Each structure stands twice: as C-alpha cells, then as structure tokens.
Amino acid sequence: MKKVMFACKKNSCRSQMAEGFAKTLGKDKIEVNSCGLEASEVNPTAIEVMQEIGIDISDQTSKSINNFQPEDYDAVISLCGCGVSLPEGWILREIFEDWQLDDPDGQPIETFRRVRDEIKDRVEVLISKLS
C-alpha cells in the first residue's frame, strides 16, 4: 500500500482537508498523513466545511514535518507552494506534487468550500494514480 504525506506551512487547513479526503476516499488503498513546516492547530472552519460533506476531521491534529522521515513515504504533496521550503528528502520521493492552492485561513467560508472542493478533485486523481 502506497504512503502519502500532505505537507503545508502550518498543517491547519488545506493539508488537514486533504488528509480527511484521502483517508475517506482512499480507505484500504493508501495510507495517509499530513504535516506542516511548523505545527499549529486544525482550523475550526476547515473542520466545519468537511463536516458539511460528511467527513469528520475533528480528531486530526496538526503535526510538524520533523516528526516524520521522508523515506517512509511514496508520495509527497505540497498544498501551498511550500515545496521550495521542504527539506530535499521530501521532494525526491517517487511522486512529488506542489498543488499551490489558495490559503483559506482568514477568508470567508465560501473560500474554504471552494478550496475543499479543489482538494477533493485532486485527491481523487492522486488515489487513482497510486492504486
């Protein structure tokens, strides 16, 4: 089973939503984690917009990339353009993608919903590529 890491700056919005989608849509197909260049907390609005579509990420926590080893992962996905800031080992995985999605933090809930839906579409493509 392929292992995927979703990385972002703070592991609070985009990477958390991606983790939630991948765990739900990729159940029994891929293993998933998310992390940030720094840990913070899961954004309450990210939790809310995921609950709107029936995915509960309220038990997920924000984690630092320093808690993980790049060689444990087959695919690394940056959601914020932070690929340039990731240590080299993370970029050299079998699959590395930098999705560069808008940061919904501090934006209206409509922005969270748009970014959520963009993440869902991309996660679906990623799962089919990996399974």
- CA dist., res. 44 & res. 24, Å (int): 19
Q: Which of 8, 13, 35, 82 is catalytic?
A: 8
3-state DSSP helix/strand/coil percent for the chain, to nearest 5? Answer: 45, 20, 40
Residue position matching structure tokens 């940061």: 103
Please say if 80 is a catalytic residue.
yes
Mention every residue, 6+ apart, whose C-beta is less than 8 A from residue 1: 29, 30, 31
Q: Which of 13, 35, 80, 82 is catalytic?
A: 80
Please say if 82 is a catalytic residue.
no
Catalytic residue annotation: 8, 80
